[in-house]
Amino acid sequence: MITLTIAQIAHAIAGEPVLSAADSLDTPVSGAVDTDSRLIGRGDVFVAKPGEHTDGHLFVPAVAEAGAALAIVERIVDAPISQIVVPDVVAALAALAREVVARVRARGDLRIVGITGSNGKTTTKNMLARILEGEAETVAPRASFNNEVGAPLTMLRVTEQTRYLVCEFGASAPGEIARLAGLVEPDIGIVLMVGLAHAGGFGGIEATFHAKSELVRAVRPGGLAVLNADDPRVSQMAPIATERDVRVRWFGRGDTAEVRAGEIEVSATGTATTVTVDGVDHPLRLSVLGAHHVANALAAIAAATALGVAADAAIGRVESLELAERWRMQPLGSDSIRIINDAYNASPDSMAAALRTLAQITGPDERTVAVLGAMSELGEYAEEEHDRVGLLAVRLGIKRIVVIGVDARRMYLEAIAQGSWDGEAVFFATADEAFDYLQGELRAGDRVLVKSSNAAGLRFLGDRLGESVS
């Protein structure tokens, strides 16, 4: 965090400072800000957030002993550390982020990019960060820091030298993206797609559209909206941009997109295409598996070139990215048995994309194996969408379909109904049972996809399988 005095922090978050004997209101604070006490070191700021399973206030004495400079709390804790008392520490965290970014932005050369979409946010964030890091100091989220806590924590990592801030905005209910993006008013807003991810929380696909369009509404006047020309719902956000004096830059496969891709070739070693940027063709070969990641690359390139990065440089840096993120189309195992661990998250769109990728990268003498778990937060669409996945797996000719968990059972039942009744589809209640089965089932030449939402926990099964066949 940039240097602020305790008085300045207290004013920014409308809190009441309670000072330790060693401090005054003019004491400067410049350490990192976090809600995880295990990450707090000397000079840092601890935000004592109450949680479902524990309460951050219990750890204030520990961070004081670790040398923390300040704690932001909802009640005073008996510990030798200066504290600022606020009614709501999460709201205070957001207010502090707004203040810090505003101070750095006043310098005049900070550029802020916000990213949202039902799928692809983290991959696009990593691609864009890789591009911009080659230009100047860039701050981007760790992992998927995109919620009411993670997004402000990312914003608070900016320094006086930061030139680019990349923010990822996720949401499980209307209004969340507006609140988060409103903290920084991005110069560029990227909307990747509108799908059924979190549709249960939003209340349907139209409500999801309105939620994702909140980012376009948050872009500052004179800014830029980078929109997916291939997604009809995202395309409908263009008038919103125009109303706010925000320009539109399109990416996609169609001829109208300023940044577009040609024919896509997918193999076990990556994805190749030709990218046209403002009328000039460039070859692109991604190490990241899956045709669906081409759209993410297009979005990142569209934003970067709008910021003045040369297209060749942007493409070269995207090509250098070997892995989108851990547990996202992550290759594991060996050449003999390849595991693709894509179980950090799942929606109907990403599940379909991953299954298609599995089919595309598997040779004629190799066998496809799909290890599938539940997709979370689909609400009333859950049964229908799990049925669709089971159907798609059969239609794609997946040779072994391993379904895990009661919430995912409809995938198995649909696969059976579609003709996979001769051992091609199996069901297990737990990941441990599935692991034991797969230990005896997998053989040389297998290409194995592990895919589920985070809550299903299959990412750990993917790790176990990768280790077991290495």
Q: Is 254 one of the annotated binding-site residues?
A: no
What pLDDT sits at residue 96? 98
Architecture of domain 107-319: 3-Layer(aba) Sandwich (3.40)
What pLDDT sits at residue 144? 73
Cβ atoms of 6 and 25 within 8 Å: the answer is yes
What pLDDT sits at residue 197? 59
What pLDDT sits at residue 324? 73
Alpha carbons 407 and 389: distance in angstroms, whole number:
13
Q: Is 154 one of the annotated binding-site residues?
A: no
Q: CB count, 10 Å around CB of 323? A: 15
Q: Is 320 one of the annotated binding-site residues?
A: no
Portions of the chain given CATH number 3.90.190.20 = 330-468
Q: Is 454 one of the annotated binding-site residues?
A: no
By C-alpha distance, which of 245, 246, 227 is closest to 237? 227
CATH number assigned to the domain with residue range 330-468, chosen from the 4 options 3.30.1700.10, 3.40.1360.10, 3.40.309.10, 3.90.190.20: 3.90.190.20
pLDDT one-digit tens code per residue, 155-213: 999 999 999 999 999 877 789 999 999 999 999 999 999 976 555 555 677 888 999 99
pTM of the model as a whole: 0.86
What pLDDT sits at residue 420? 59
What pLDDT sits at residue 16? 98
C-alpha distance across the termini of the chain, in Å = 42
What pLDDT sits at residue 213? 96
What pLDDT sits at residue 205? 78
Alpha carbons 197 and 112: distance in angstroms, whole number:
25
pLDDT one-digit tens code per residue, 253-309: 999 999 999 999 998 888 999 999 999 999 999 998 889 999 999 999 999 999 999
The bridge status of strand 425-428 relative to strand 400-404 is: parallel
What is 4-91's CATH number? 3.40.1390.10
Cβ atoms of 367 and 329 within 8 Å: the answer is no
Retrieve residue 102's tokens. 């505003």
* Helix 458-468, helix 431-441: angle, nearest 10: 30
Give the chain's residues under pLDDT 50. Answer: none
Portions of the chain given CATH number 3.40.1390.10 = 4-91
